[in-house]
A and B are shown apart, each in its own frame.
Chain A
Amino acid sequence: MQFKLNVRRYDPEAENPAPYWRAYEVDVPENASVLDCLIHVREYVDGTLAVRCSCRSAICGSCMMRVNGQARLACITKAKDMQELDEVITVEPGGNMPVLKDLIVDMDVFWNKIRQVKPWLEPVQPVPEREYLVPNETILDLTVAMNCIMCGACVSDCTSLEVDKNFIGPAALAKAYRFVDDPRDEDRQERLEELSGDGGVYDCTHCFFCVEVCPKGVAPMERIVDIRERAQGAGVTNNAGARHAVAFEDIIRDSGILDEPMLLLRSIGMNPAEQVKNLPGGIRLLRAGKLPLASGPFHHKIPGHGNVKRLFEKVETSQ
């Protein structure tokens, strides 16, 4: 079957290195993967094309790249499926990491972030004579995070990393969750405090790209929400993210509907610099007739808001 590919190329050793696009047409079996197509190009059409791959079975994670604008493992992405979406299959290197050559990115950025979260157990003392005994139900929850094959798809398409390289990022935070919730780890509180700080879990913007592109169902954003929940549960609440969540919960408990001005005030807290930054926005909303004036004690509640409050109590009692 014929497939048309448009591949983003880059050769750092060229006279004037700059990315460019090169079109290829390949004739391969109908069930060929995008990786099969690229290997065909490299073997029979253009030997200078640089592609990284190893297992070809979605285990090693080396062939992560953007196909039709989204991070995928090229080895399990059928060319036919991609051609159905777009007549020409677009192939680019993964995002948010420097390109070394053609479709190969420098994974140092990725690994440095993984190292940043101390991806090892700090054993609870005293260390038992033989192995730690861990109940199944405790560890089952972690198996999702353990499925990560470190392909970097989530990092490639993370919108927070796109604007801020300081963000720890989805892969490393999912890895961190794996240790936060491991009963054999002694550093839980310290980890939760660090992960709630600069570049941590509250810089995730809930864009769901990592959930969408992860080929192993790790759903890093959900693991980030897990860390936020564990951190707030452990009393790590002196930050804007936790203040926002606590205020949000309180407001809905009380009235069933959001009180936006109050949420903003409580999220910012007693931080004059942040208050000043937010003031012009408030004035603009007011002038446009958009700022709800019925805030705080005057905030309107939904009819029967007592039922919502009782539901909060029931859920909390059940836990």
Chain B
Amino acid sequence: MKYAFFPGCVSRGACPELMQSLTAVADHIGMELELMETASCTGAGVISERNRKLADALNARNFALAEQTGLPLMNICSTCQGVMSGVNERLKAQPAYLAEINEMLADEGLSYSGKAEPRNFMWVLVEDFGLDNLRSMVKRPLGELNVAPFYGCYISRPTDVLGYQDFPERGRYLEMIIEACGATPVDYSGKKCCGFPIITMNRTNSLTMAGNHVGEAQEKGADFMVTPCPLCHLNLDAQQPDAARVVSTPLNLPILHLSQLIGMALGIDDKDLGLNRHVVSTNPVRERVHALPMA
């Protein structure tokens, strides 16, 4: 189980605990990662509003770099996944356009065949590694803990671009992983928007969205929230104190990355999961988890 690993920007920027925990979990479950160091940002749906062709070319270059390794491409960010899937569909549907972009990549010795299938860690974990394998490796079932799944928009919609026809359960993977870790998923609106994309443009709207979702999860009994998207994490965790003020609701809900949830269930040490690098303290979760018996 080896992958061309596309880390994205935020796991090497404002969410270093994502990279840390993902690496720890991958090591633990025997997943080999070949870091795509020379890959660029996907454009995050922002560069496409400056110039769509530019965003397409950047992603084609990343796909070509992955193809050079001969390994399947794995990312760790919902937004990267959505952008990659969207661009890939455009490139596959227009061979002449792909050929034009390939000409621009030729100087670097790159060419994209149009056959890459970029997949998020969450998808890889369920589809390649398997939930049975995960269950068998769980050392500390997270019983009694209620976990609110928060997907992120880019990995939820549009479903036809994200391969939901072939994998109809992709919209339930977070719940399935939470259950495999022994915890209970909370039923709430976890597929809506965290508000991050407009945080610098309309701060009130952005924080209202974040505050509403955290508030709803909290009200429905969540002990913490889990997300496969580091951008959602920034709005839900780092902005949570401001979001609480905007929605006039006391909020104090720890937000974990998917790899941190899995890491806790696998019994990986807290310090290797970066659980101290959060704005909303994860201490209450850690205390509850440490009180649970090892299987």
Residues of A whose CB lies within 8 Å of any CB of B are 159-160, 163-164, 167, 202-209, 211-212, 219, 225, 228-229, 232, 239-241, 244-246, 248-249, 252, 256-260, 264, 267-268, 274, 277-278, 280-281, 284-285, 288-292, 302-305, 307-308, 310-312, 314-316, 318-319
Chain A proximity of B237: nearest CB distance (Å): 9
Among A274, A291, A311, point to the contact of B104 (Cβ < 8 A).
A311
CB distance from A76 to the nearest CB of B (A): 16
Could you tell me if B157 and A258 are in contact, using CB atoms closer than 8 angstroms? Answer: no
Given A163-B209, A212-B158, A312-B54, the answer on whether A257 and B14 have CB atoms closer than 8 Å is no
Name the CB-closest residue of A to B108.
A307
Max chain B Cβ within 10 angstroms of own Cβ: one of A246, A260, A267, A274: A260
Per-residue CB contact flags for chain B residues 155-179 toward chain A (1 = under 8 Å, else 0) read 0111100000000000000000000
Q: Mark B30-65, 1 if CB is under 8 A from A, else 0.
A: 000000011111011111111111100110010000
A202-B37 contact given A248-B44, A288-B278, A315-B104, CB 8 Å threshold? no
Q: In the complex, which residues of chain A have a beta carbon less than 8 angstroms from the beta carbon of B104?
A: 311, 314-315, 318
Tell me which residues across on chain B come within 8 A of A281, comparing CB atoms.
238-239, 242
Does B75 interact with chain A (Cβ within 8 Å)?
Answer: no
Q: Mark B202-234, 1 if CB is under 8 A from A, else 0.
A: 111110110010000000000000000000000
Distance of A267 Cα from B199 Cα, bound (Å): 10
Tell me if B53 and A290 are in contact (CB < 8 A).
no
**Cβ B195 vs Cβ A205 within 8 A:** yes
Contact for B40 among A202, A246, A308, A316, CB less than 8 A: A308
Q: How far is the CA of A163 from the CA of B208 in the complex (A)?
A: 7
Is residue B9 within 8 Å, beta carbon to beta carbon, of the partner chain?
yes
Contacts of B112 in A (CB 8 A): none
Chain B residues in 8 Å Cβ range of A204: 198
| Chain A residues within an 8 Å CB radius of B50 | 229, 232, 245-246, 248-249
Determine whether the beta carbon of A240 is less than 8 Å from that of B54.
Answer: no
Contact A159 B209 (CB under 8 A): yes
Report A204 CB to chain B, min CB distance, Å.
Answer: 8
Q: Looking at chain B, what size class is its interface with the partner chain?
A: 35 or more
Residue in B17, B38, B82, B100 with the greatest tally of chain A CB atoms within 10 Å: B38
**Is B72 engaged at the interface, CB distance under 8 Å to the other chain?**
no
Contacts of A252 in B (CB 8 A): 40-41, 43, 47, 58
- Is residue B197 within 8 Å, beta carbon to beta carbon, of the partner chain? yes
On whether the beta carbons of A229 and B52 are closer than 8 Å, the reply is yes
Q: Kindly state the separation between the CA atoms of A232 and B49 in the bound complex, as whole angstroms.
A: 8
Q: In the complex, what residues of B have CB within 8 A of residue A289's CB? A: 16, 276-277
How far apart are B18's CB and chain A's nearest CB, in angstroms?
A: 10
Q: Are B202 and A202 in contact (CB under 8 A)?
A: yes
Contact partners of A285 in chain B: CB under 8 A: 14, 238, 279
Q: Cβ of A245: which chain B residues have Cβ within 8 Å of it? A: 46-47, 49-50
- B184-205: contact bitstring with A at CB < 8 Å (1 yes, 0 no)? 0000000011010110111111
Residues of chain A within 8 A (CB-CB) of B9 are 257-258, 260
A250 vs B129: C-alpha distance in the bound complex, in angstroms?
39
Whole-angstrom distance between the Cβ of B208 and the nearest chain A Cβ: 4
Give the A-binding residues of B (Cβ under 8 A). Answer: 9-10, 12-17, 37-41, 43-54, 57-58, 61, 82, 100, 104-105, 107-108, 153-154, 156-159, 192-193, 195, 197-198, 200-206, 208-209, 212, 238-239, 241-242, 276-279
Is there an interface contact between B209 and A258, defined as CB atoms closer than 8 Å?
A: no
Minimum Cβ distance to chain B for residue A121 (Å): 25
Q: Report the minimal beta-carbon distance from A201 to chain B, rounded to whole angstroms.
A: 9
Q: How far is the CB of B108 from chain A (nearest CB, A)?
A: 5
Q: Nearest residue in B to A287 (C-beta to C-beta)?
A: B279
State whether A257 touches B41 (Cβ < 8 A).
yes
Given A205-B193, A252-B43, A307-B38, answer yes or no on A292-B105 (Cβ-Cβ < 8 Å): no
Q: B192 contacts which of A159, A292, A308 (Cβ < 8 Å)?
A: A159
Give the complex CA separation of A184 and B57 in angstroms. 32
Given contact pairs A208-B154, A305-B40, enumerate 18 new A-B contacts (beta carbons under 8 Å).
Answer: A160-B193, A205-B197, A206-B193, A225-B45, A225-B49, A244-B46, A244-B200, A249-B54, A257-B9, A258-B41, A260-B13, A278-B203, A280-B241, A281-B238, A292-B14, A302-B37, A302-B39, A315-B57
From known contacts A225-B49, A290-B277, infer whether A241 and B201 are also in contact, taking CB-CB under 8 Å: yes
- 23 A-B residue pairs with Cβ-Cβ distance under 8 Å, sorted by A, are A164-B202, A203-B201, A205-B193, A205-B197, A206-B45, A207-B157, A207-B192, A208-B154, A252-B58, A256-B38, A257-B13, A260-B10, A278-B203, A281-B238, A281-B239, A285-B238, A285-B279, A291-B14, A292-B14, A302-B38, A310-B107, A311-B104, A319-B51
| A208 near B37: Cβ-Cβ < 8 Å | no
Interface centre among A206, A268, A318 (most CB of B within 10 A): A206
Min Cβ gap A249→B in Å is 5
Contacts of B193 in A (CB 8 A): 159-160, 205-207
Which residue of chain A has the shortest Cβ distance to B239 in the bound complex? A281
Kindly list chain A residues whose C-beta atoms are within 8 Å of the C-beta of B156.
208
The answer to whether B153 touches A240, judged by C-beta atoms less than 8 angstroms apart, is: no
CA distance A208 to B53 in the complex (A): 20
